Amino acid sequence: MSEPSQRSIEASNDVLTVFSGSSPEDVSHARLLWSTLCMATPLESRLVSSDIPQRLPVSRPERSGHLEPRRAEPPNLNAAKQREEERQRYMAMAAQRKETLALLRRQREQRIQKELLSLAFKPRTPRDKAHKDKTNELNMEEEMVRQLD
């Protein structure tokens, strides 16, 4: 512990520790005992500790022993070629997307045609009839509203 904090502990022990009716030798032994039993604060509760580094290391850019000279390549030639290849890839993807959408559209139209053909041969269920009745009621209500206008 530091010197000033040790003095303040000793001063507080002198003030707070009272041994009345004991011999001076017993008092000195008791004070010595209580001063040794005074525990130090745990490391976690201290604000600063010599065991823990207080600052993070400063990051510095790495320096290599030699610098590589930059090559003087014409960027326009390579960049233009890459852009053209990328453009062709995107065009191929767009064409494939159009084909896929056309195929899906044809399949949907075929499915709808098959459903319309089979609709005439499907048995009517009470649910279909109830739905038809509701639509008839709605049509009748709309017609009455129009007549009121």
Write the pLDDT tens digit of every residue in 66-94.
556 566 555 678 888 999 999 999 999 99
Residue 5 has pLDDT above 60, yes or no: no
Q: What share of the chain in percent tops pLDDT 90?
A: 23
Instruction: Kindly report the three-state secondary structure assignment for every residue of the chain.
Output: CCHHHHHHHHHHHHHHCCCCCCCHHHHHHHHHHHHHHCCCCCHHHCCCCCCCCCCCCCCCCCCCCCCCCCCCCCHHHHHHHHHHHHHHHHHHHHHHHHHHHHHHHHHHHHHHHHHHHHHCCCCCCHHHHHHHHHHHHHHHHHHHHHHHC
Predicted model pTM: 0.33
pLDDT tens for 51-65 read: 766 677 777 777 766
